[in-house]
Amino acid sequence: ILLEQDLHNALANNEFYLDYQPQVNLKTGTIESVEALVRWRHPTRGFVPPDVFIPIAEECGLIIPLGKWILENACTQAKIWEKQGLPPMKVAVNLSLGQLFQQDLVEMVQDILHRTNLDPSFLQLEITESMTMNIDQMTQLLHELKALGIQIAVDDFGTGYSSLSYLKEFPIDCLKIDRTFVRNVPHNPNDEALVSMIISMAKHLRLKVVAEGIEEVEQLSFLIDGGCDYIQGYLFSKPISPQQITETYKDLH
């Protein structure tokens, strides 16, 4: 309850900020995208992690204005990097379940793209399999979002209870293999089999595939051998501030 009251003040008091985690293209070694991750610096409790406050924001409805703030901030930042002359980078933004039921979600995304003047192909929205919504409704919504020219990724892939049939219905561009599968690669044969299978399936469906949570060189080798397109993880970079992204990438072309 306390956190819920604090959450309402947090937006007005500017206590949220975004860090960005690079995704590396394994074929070229370049950063083609960064994932925006929201952080909350609470005035007295200090850092409160998103897996604590996002569910509370969902419950109390604050996820709608917070989600809008996150999207607008990320698109604005992507434009700043472009103006700074950084190599072109997509920005990936996580959507919450509550946002999928937001009546004006498509209009909001369109409006933010318009106001920030960001090329839509540089925005990727991440949804998860656990976002339970009627499959026809979800298909319709994703088609409307895709029509704006943006990209759609399925986050935490493989951890939901959903059937695979949605992969042929939804207009998606990218699968992000959940880090729980990658964690025990290459030591656990079952996880190896699942990761290889997901990469292979993604290729046959002509989807990009990102492996998340890469922390060790052995995991990297396994993914390179397996033909994975992109990795995201502490081995390469933790989520970092937009200024750190600029410092790291301004001289790379």
Interacting residues with Mn ion (CB under 5 A): 94, 126, 155
Q: Which stretch binds Na ion (CB under 5 A): 91-99, 107-115, 199-207, 210-218?
A: 210-218
Q: Write down the least CB distance from residue 212 to Mn ion, Å.
A: 8
Nearer Cβ to ligand G (28/47):
47
Nearer Cβ to Mn ion (219/232):
232
Q: Write down the least CB distance from residue 85 to ligand G, Å.
A: 26
Nearer Cβ to Mn ion (6/98):
98
SS3 sequence, the chain?
CHHHHHHHHHHHCCCEEEEEEEEEECCCCCEEEEEEEEEEEECCCEEECHHHHHHHHHHHCCHHHHHHHHHHHHHHHHHHHHHCCCCCCEEEEECCHHHHCCCCHHHHHHHHHHHHCCCHHHEEEEEECCCCCCHHHHHHHHHHHHCCCCEEEEEEECCCCCCCCHHHHCCCCEEEECHHHHCCCCCCHHHHHHHHHHHHHHHHCCCEEEEECCCCHHHHHHHHHHCCCEEECCCCCCCECHHHHHHHHCCCC
d(CA 30, CA 88): 10
The listed partner (Na ion, ligand G, Mn ion, none) that binds 21, CB under 5 to 8 Å by sort, is ligand G
Nearer Cβ to ligand G (52/250):
52
d(CA 190, CA 177): 15
Contact positions vs ligand G (CB under 6 A): 21, 36-38, 49-51, 54, 70, 94, 96, 155-156, 179, 212-215, 232-234, 239
Nearer Cβ to Na ion (156/229):
156
The listed partner (Na ion, ligand G, Mn ion, none) that binds 229, CB under 5 to 8 Å by sort, is none
Site string for Na ion, 151-170 (x = CB under 5 A): ----xx--------------
Nearer Cβ to ligand G (85/104):
104
Q: Write down the least CB distance from residue 32 to ligand G, Å.
A: 17
- 112 in Cβ contact with 104 (< 8 Å): no
Q: Which stretch binds Na ion (CB under 5 A): 26-34, 87-95, 212-220, 236-244?
A: 212-220
Please count the residues of this chain forming the interface with Na ion, following the rule CB under 5 A.
Answer: 3
66 Cβ partners below 8 Å, 6+ apart? 7, 11, 16, 38, 57
Q: Which stretch binds Na ion (CB under 5 A): 37-45, 142-150, 206-214, 232-240?
A: 206-214
Catalog residues that contact Na ion under the rule CB under 5 A.
155-156, 212
